[in-house]
Structure 1
Amino acid sequence: MQRPPQVPEEVPETVEQWLEGLALTDYVDNFHLNGIYCPLAAINLTKRDLQLMGVYMQGHRKKILLSLAALKESLFRQQ
């Protein structure tokens, strides 16, 4: 059974901080090479976008997408 993503209190300022929290720091360079330095810049990425960026492992893509959904929820709650 899959757990819903945890909605963070604050949005991390950098991709490094965000991916560190997901234990996926191997992808920091992939995001930077695609001009993404802040998690908010990644908010609308899709599974296909992540594949094209070099996130080939399905589980890693899923973890990132679930985290992005939680970030969206956090932004919605702040409004």
Structure 2
Amino acid sequence: MTKNEENNLQAMEIADEIYADGVLSVGIRQNIAKIDFYQAFPVADENNTNEQRELRKASRRIVLPVTGLIELHDILSNIMEKIKNNAEK
């Protein structure tokens, strides 16, 4: 079984899916990375300026070893490269 097939098999076994609007922060201490995600909530426009504002509230944290963060970086870099290549076509 290839590495890609193993990754696909593991991805199919995921039980929980968590939604986040974005990343609030990333911290590293003693070879452990903590990635905090946020959910965005609209804030009422009290001054009638029609300004779009949002409140970002920490919602979830993923904790993984730095080696996992490096793997995440590699995966995201590959995805970004594919997006960039598709946008240029």
Between Structure 1 and Structure 2, the one with more helix by share is 1
TM-score class, shorter? 0.3 to 0.5
Using CA pairs below 8 Å that are at least 6 residues apart, which structure has the higher relative contact order? 1
TM-score when scaled to structure 1?
Answer: 0.41
TM-score when scaled to structure 2?
Answer: 0.37
